[in-house]
Amino acid sequence: DAKTTQPPSMDCAEGRAANLPCNHSTISGNEYVYWYRQIHSQGPQYIIHGLKNNETNEMASLIITEDRKSSTLILPHATLRDTAVYYCIVRPLGAGGTSYGKLTFGQGTILTVHP
Amino acid sequence: DGGITQSPKYLFRKEGQNVTLSCEQNLNHDAMYWYRQDPGQGLRLIYYSQIVNDFQKGDIAEGYSVSREKKESFPLTVTSAQKNPTAFYLCASSPQAGARDTGELFFGEGSRLTVL
């Protein structure tokens, strides 16, 4: 699976948009970009995923560059409860075999939302 | 409510003892996984199972064992052969296996094991 690079930490003011970047310059054509977050001492929570088109759901928006080498997760109106570690992951969809289940979680970005 | 239940949440054991962590899901998911997380680190895959009575080793299976006798249950045993068992253990499941895999995992709340 392609490797991702994220800043170790970011701050955001409550009510503002949080924009979390992720570089995945070695991404392959069949690899999707996934975002998860983990609040302290809890299990990770799925946020969103996409291939090449921008995606939006009730939690966030995902913007993927045209060359797919980077992406940005946008939390439009950050709240204190959005403080968490955010993980950007790339992996093939429906790979099966040895890559199945191998969502490789790196260090992630610690997002701190402050009042 | 549907979800994944891990127990116990906290567990203390003496060195050399085997310990079994429970993971139960009522989401009717085919696939289940065990991950290990160490302080300040990402998650590492221990074992996964795509279907009942079948499971595969992940990246760090040594010193661990699993079983998948029922669709809803995937217990993890941390054996005395695991050299550094103190960690946060996370169980997850996903709704579809193989080619229909969406990549979305649903996680439990975790079990924190401390070996004294």
CB contact under 8 A, B43 and A45: no
Residue to test with chain B: of A86, A100, A102, most B Cβ within 10 A: A100
Cβ pair B31, B50 in contact under 8 A = yes
Give, as one character, the DSSP assignment of residue A8: S
Residue A77 has pLDDT above 50, yes or no: yes
pLDDT mean over A66-83? 96
A94 contacts in chain B (CB < 8 Å): 98-101
Give me the residues of B, 74-103, that contact A with CB < 8 A.
Answer: 88, 90, 92, 94, 97-103
* pLDDT at site B60: 94
| Strands B64-66 vs B4-7: parallel, antiparallel or unpaired | unpaired
For B111, the token pair is 């079990």
DSSP H or E stretch at residue B98:
none
Residue with tokens 């790196």: A106
Single-letter amino acid, residue B24: E
CB A5 within 8 A of CB A88: no
User: What pLDDT, in 10s, does the model give residues A27-70?
Assistant: 988 888 999 999 988 999 999 999 998 999 999 999 999 999 99
% of chain A surpassing 90 pLDDT: 74
Q: Which residue of B has its CA nearest to A97?
A: B98
Contact status of A8 with chain B (Cβ, < 8 Å): no
Which residue is closest to B99 within chain A, CA to CA?
Answer: A94
d(CA A73, CA A24): 13
Which residue, among B92, B25, B28, B74, has the nearest Cα to A38 in the 3D structure?
B92
